[in-house]
Amino acid sequence: MGWWSTAIMGGDTALDWECLFYDLCDRDTEENIDHDIIDNKLHEMIDLCNNIEFDEDKSIAYQVLGVVLMKNGYYLDNDLKQEIIYWTSKDEWMLENSERKEEIQNYIETVKNYQGKSINIKDRDPGLFNMIAAGINNVKLKPGDPPRIAKD
């Protein structure tokens, strides 16, 4: 289906990566991943990201890796933060779309300031069905807007 919003987790590719990382840890995306499991699987997660041929795809993978790690309150050392920030800054879509650029800039700031406490960045995405409903009702939703089904 592609992307329904400019949010970091606003598209199928991002959700596919999220599922892949959770599957690697033998967890469902609604479950928390123990830090011991992340410790054991982090190198595999990073290897998956690094084995991607195209920079744009690698950028999305690293963005989602950061989302998964921060959602689970996993401490990001400076090297890992810098790697996530570097690849996030390679997002090509932000060069074409000001809303995506703002999302990427906000995400990079979140990573820079992250202190190891759980943050659910996925909650910033209004979600596919809310975007469909907004379109039907001719309402423009942006990432971070609360879900709205009916037109004001």
Taking the whole predicted model, whether its pTM rises above 0.75 is answered as: yes
* pLDDT surpasses 70 at 152: no
Does 144 reside within a domain? no
Does 1 reside within a domain? no
* Residue-averaged pLDDT of the chain: 86
Does 147 reside within a domain? no
Does 149 reside within a domain? no
Residue 129 pLDDT class (50, 70, 90 cuts): very low
Side chain identity, residue 99: E
| Percent of residues, the chain, with pLDDT higher than 90 | 70
Does 60 reside within a domain? yes
pLDDT for residue 142: 61
* pLDDT surpasses 90 at 113: yes
* pLDDT surpasses 90 at 140: no
Residue 141 pLDDT class (50, 70, 90 cuts): low
Distance, CA of 69 to CA of 64 (rounded, Å) = 9
Residue 144 pLDDT class (50, 70, 90 cuts): low
Residue 81 pLDDT class (50, 70, 90 cuts): very high
Of 36, 107, 44, nearest in space to 75 by CA? 36
Tokens of 17: 């990566």
Does 63 reside within a domain? yes
Cβ atoms 6, 97 nearer than 8 A: yes
Q: Give Dmax (Cα) for the chain.
A: 49
Distance, CA of 86 to CA of 100 (rounded, Å) = 16
pLDDT for residue 114: 96
Of 2, 8, 125, 103, nearest in space to 134 by CA? 125
Rounded to whole angstroms, what are the CA distances from 64 to 46, 89, 105, 138, 142?
A: 11, 13, 15, 30, 19
**Domain of 125, in residue numbers:** 12-136
Q: How many domains does the chain have?
A: 1
Does 151 reside within a domain? no
Does 2 reside within a domain? no
24-74 pLDDT, tens digit each: 999 998 899 999 999 999 999 999 999 999 999 999 999 999 999 999 999
